Amino acid sequence: MNRETCERMYHTHFMRVFSYVMTLAGDRHLAEEITQDAFFRAFAKGSDFRNESDEVTWLCTIAKNCYTDEIRRRKKTGPMPEDLPATEKSIEQLAADRDSSFRIHVALHAMEEPYREVFELRIFGELSFREIGTIFGKTENWARVTYHRARLKLQERMDQHEN
């Protein structure tokens, strides 16, 4: 991969990849490191890109693998706090509110896969269902159904902690 292609790809997709990693990591510094590592790996193995998916999907897959590698390396976990929001708003409306967004991220952290990641990719990563399906090697319909189930599970979890 030549230098101009790398620069174009970096400037075009950096914010989407960083936003995706930020939803995974929840820590700005860690997200920056992982995003940089993902671009480094992508550029080092640029010949592996076969145009079977969008560039951003390919980059997000690399970023997901970098994040997974980092988590395995750190082997860290954390308890879920008890102060989840009590509200009548939908999950999407809550995401717009910064404080509620943090609480949603905490609740999402405890949610099982693939629901957590599909929800984060759709809401925070702003990826299409087609792109999400491609990341997981599944269909667009699978991504839609999984997102819907994740949304219901998250709403249920938020409602349980409301009482």
Q: Which fold has domain 91-162?
A: Arc Repressor Mutant, subunit A (1.10.10)
Query: Could you tell me where in the chain the CATH 1.10.10.10 domains are found?
Result: 91-162
Class of domain 3-74: mainly alpha
Q: Residues 3-46: pLDDT tens digits?
A: 788 788 888 888 888 888 888 888 888 888 888 888 888 888 76
Query: Could you tell me where in the chain the CATH 1.10.1740.10 domains are found?
Result: 3-74
3-state secondary structure the chain: CCHHHHHHHHHHHHHHHHHHHHHHHCCHHHHHHHHHHHHHHHHHCHHHCCCCCCHHHHHHHHHHHHHHHHHHHHCCCCCCCCCCCCCCCCHHHHHHCHHHHHHHHHHHHHCCCCHHHHHHHHHCCCCCHHHHHHHHCCCHHHHHHHHHHHHHHHHHHHHHHHC
* pTM of full prediction above 0.75: no
